[in-house]
Amino acid sequence: MKKIDLHIHTMPTISDKEFSFSIDKLKSYVSSAAIDAIAITNHDTFDRNQFMMIKEAVDAIVYPGIEVNLETGHVLIISDGADLDAFWAKTALVSKKITKIGESISVDELKEIFDDLNDYLVIPHYDKTPEIKGEILERIIGYVSAGEVDSAKKFIRAIKDNSRLTPVLFSDARISDELRQLPTRQTFVDIGDLTLKALKACFRDKNKVSLSEKDGNKLFQIFEDGQKISTGLNILLGERSTGKTFTLNRISESNKNVKYIKQFSLVQQDDEAHERDFHKDISRERSKFMEGYLSEFKVVLNDVVNVDLQRNERLIDKYISTLLKSAEEVERKDSFSKTALFDETEFTTSEDPVLNALIRSVKQLIENVEYHSIIEKHLDINSLKELACELIEILRKKNDERKKRNFINSIIRDIKEMLRVRTSSTQVEDIDLYRIKMDFKKIEKFEEITKFLQKEAVISEENVQRFRVVASRAPFNGAGEVKLVSRSRVAFSDAYKDYNQPYKYLQSLVNIESLDPSELYKYFVKIDYKILNKHGYEVSGGERSEFRLLQEIKDAQDYEILLIDEPESSFDNIFLKDEVNKIVKEISKTMPVIVVTHNNTVGASIGADYCVYARKEFEGTDIKYRLYSGHPTDRELVSQDGKQLSNFDVILNSLEAGDQAYNERRKGYEAIKDRK
Amino acid sequence: MKLLKIENSQGYFLLDNSKYASVDKITKEDLLRLVNLTLESEVDFDEFTDDNLKNQAHQIIYKSIYDKLNGLKERRDEFKDESARLYLKEYDRYRGESS
């Protein structure tokens, strides 16, 4: 196994914060983390001299590379360094094209500059911002060896999902003296000789990359001293004041996007404040739900709000009246008003979104890499290409036609205006009946949709362990209810009179100046959001804390690591065993979780994948905080400096107050059980 | 091909039967035909001056159309290019690969 970190910054560029590179820091990183190969990958630049200096100084293989701003994301281009001058010259072309923040090069430019990308390791930001995805990724996918991710969670996800690229986890670190902790993100590769060619071959097989040297993807490094934890469920044990919370804080500080549920954070300390917090949470969830549920309605409303029926009516009136008047005046026409263009109407012109979308879809069928074999099984790719060309030809023709028509419309407008000022005859006002009719249709649809939306219904029911979250909709019952949603002092009583005529109601809302136009969609239907307990009643005080904990754990799905500090301090054992253990275990299948506990219900029953024990030890007059770790079935827990403790003793001391107490308790329970 | 001409102090435009009609009779469909001709063929127009066209209604229409078509004639290549650039990469690639 070799350990590699092929994404390291050694020069500040316009894409970085200022930092000053330290060769000593790089040397100490490479040697303490025992890294076999690194790559120097600065943003859009490669400094040959600095590279040579690093290569001389560092005791590892050093590859020359560059991190390129490619259209929407970043991609690492790493060379084997055989022809350093040629690589330097190519990277200089990248630097020349990217001189300001926000600039990037295109895929075509990348291919042109680097000639044959097969000569390099091409590693795009994959599950990492700024990501290379979609069409851009498809266009370089043939050259890509692996995809860079930025957390253990994403690494595992990519490993498990066959449709995803082989993941690599690199530090992406700016190496300077200010670097407080040495990076812990590297990838192990199962490889003999570390050559670029061998790396490429290795990346073709997901089984050959891993987060740890001996434990595959079960463990990953969390601290610079080499301390590892499970990519699944960890329990962190220890007596009071042994550094457990300190350890969680360290993890929280040194990792991005960590969900940290602190001790007592959910406990009910003050009834009123607790209820307020709970309602605030629920109200936030309700807003989130409502925004999602009403997002399509919002689009419709935003379109309809721009329809001006009164203006349309004025236009029709004007058209009719000028038409009639012009007919009356037909005998009195002069040489200006007699011209055909005097009353000419304009061509209608419109874009063709359907055709554009169709071309994009055909293009996707042709270029999609992921499902290429299935598409090819059913459709002839050559025919699809012909279809695309034919559609493009039609699109071009239609575009030409539209441009010409727009051009002619401008001529007509000019001439009509000039003729108008020279004559006393009435000019017939032009009118776009298509648009006016479409406006009416929009309102009809809007009314239909709104009425449907206002029918009472349960729109979502979700079970969160023992709770049920029910969202329902109903019409507003009075202006007061609308006012509550608006959270303002605005009076809705006048507008509400039109509530049953949605378009008219919308107009009334538009006329209330103090209302934010982007919020109007909220005032058409009442969305109710309730948390019910298993009996179907609204939750009580204690249940609220339980629900909040479950909700917090569930929310952790959007994070990279979940930390929970002593959940037992707020909840009873039955709840911990039946609900918390279950949900924590479930979430640990997709991300690393660390639970600090003294409680045997959590600690012993949860079925952890890895056990970490924090211990305060006195060495002479010094106090040393040490972490021991191992798998739950290991005989010994081992510290990074090689000290060992009996796993059995640790578990019993931490969770059962020692062997003797455990046995006494057990005997006690048996005595009660046997009593008839 | 002469699209616009001036004779006897009157302005005329080319009909699709090679005859000419007075510019005060021109409609938007006629204009579309003239635009197509301007983009696709070698065309010219009689130059307009205040002296050679006396009728004021004719002056207004003729001058406007004359200016616009002349402008379009000058930008003919640009117009064609812009249209040909639509999905150019895909078109060329697929055309090449499918034939």
- A177 and A62 fall within a common domain: yes
Subunit contact B68:A411, Cβ cutoff 8 A = yes
Q: What ipTM does this complex have?
A: 0.72
Q: Is residue A187 part of a domain?
A: yes
User: Could you tell me the pLDDT band of residue A627, with boundaries at 50, 70 and 90?
Assistant: very high
Q: How many domains does chain B have?
A: 1
Q: Using alpha carbons only, what angle is made at residue A187 by residues A184 and A189, rounded to the nearest 5 degrees?
A: 150
- pLDDT tens digit string along B63-91? 888 888 888 888 888 777 777 777 777 67
- A250 and A149 fall within a common domain: no
β-pairing, A209-210 vs A187-189, is antiparallel
B72 touches A at CB < 8 Å: yes
- A41 and A137 fall within a common domain: yes
A351 touches B at CB < 8 Å: no
Domain encompassing residue A402: 334-424
Chain A neighbors of B40, CB-CB under 8 A = none
Subunit contact A338:B97, Cβ cutoff 8 A = no
User: Could you tell me the pLDDT band of residue A201, with boundaries at 50, 70 and 90?
Assistant: very high
Report the pLDDT value the prediction gives residue A675, as an integer from 0 to 100: 65
Residue at a domain's end among A402, A424, A446: A424
Q: Is residue A617 part of a domain?
A: yes
For A366, the closest chain B residue by CA position comes to B94
A413 touches B at CB < 8 Å: no
What residues pair up with A144 in beta bridges, in sequence order? A122
What backbone torsions phi and psi does residue A124 show, to the nearest 5 degrees? -80, 155
Domain encompassing residue B88: 2-98
Subunit contact A339:B36, Cβ cutoff 8 A = no
Q: Is residue A42 part of a domain?
A: yes
Find, among A248, A247, A244, A216, the residue nearest to A230 by Cα.
A216
- A197 and A342 fall within a common domain: no
User: Contact, A489 vs A482, CB < 8 A?
Assistant: no
Residues A652, A666: Cα–Cα separation, whole Å: 13
User: Could you tell me the pLDDT band of residue A194, with boundaries at 50, 70 and 90?
Assistant: very high
**How far is B24 from chain A, CA to nearest CA, in Å?**
4
Residues B40, B98: Cα–Cα separation, whole Å: 29
Q: Mean pLDDT: which of A15-24, A59-68, A138-147, A622-631 is highest? A: A59-68
A358 touches B at CB < 8 Å: no
Subunit contact B94:A389, Cβ cutoff 8 A = yes
Handedness of CA A271, A273, A279, A284 (dihedral sign): negative
Residues B83, A402: Cα–Cα separation, whole Å: 11
A138 touches B at CB < 8 Å: no
User: Contact, A312 vs A436, CB < 8 A?
Assistant: yes
Q: How many domains does chain A have?
A: 3
A357 touches B at CB < 8 Å: no
Q: Which residue has the higher pLDDT, A20 or A487?
A: A20
For B98, the closest chain A residue by CA position comes to A382
pLDDT of A665 strictly over 80: no
- A211 and A238 fall within a common domain: no
Instruction: Using CB atoms, pick whichever of B31, B60, B87 lies closest to residue A418.
Output: B60
Could you tell me what percent of chain B has a pLDDT over 70? 93
Classified as helix, coil or strand, A595 is strand
User: Could you tell me the pLDDT band of residue B98, with boundaries at 50, 70 and 90?
Assistant: low
Radius of gyration of chain B (CA): 18
What backbone torsions phi and psi does residue A537 show, to the nearest 5 degrees? -100, 160
CATH of the domain at A24: 3.20.20.140
- A201 and A88 fall within a common domain: yes
Chain B neighbors of A340, CB-CB under 8 A = 24-27
Q: Is residue A483 part of a domain?
A: no
A662 touches B at CB < 8 Å: no
What's the whole-number average pLDDT of chain A? 89
C-alpha torsion A253→A257→A261→A262, nearest 10: 20
Subunit contact A382:B90, Cβ cutoff 8 A = no
Subunit contact A340:B25, Cβ cutoff 8 A = yes
Query: What order of strands is seen across the sheet that includes strand B2-7?
Result: B20-22, B10-14, B2-7, B44-45
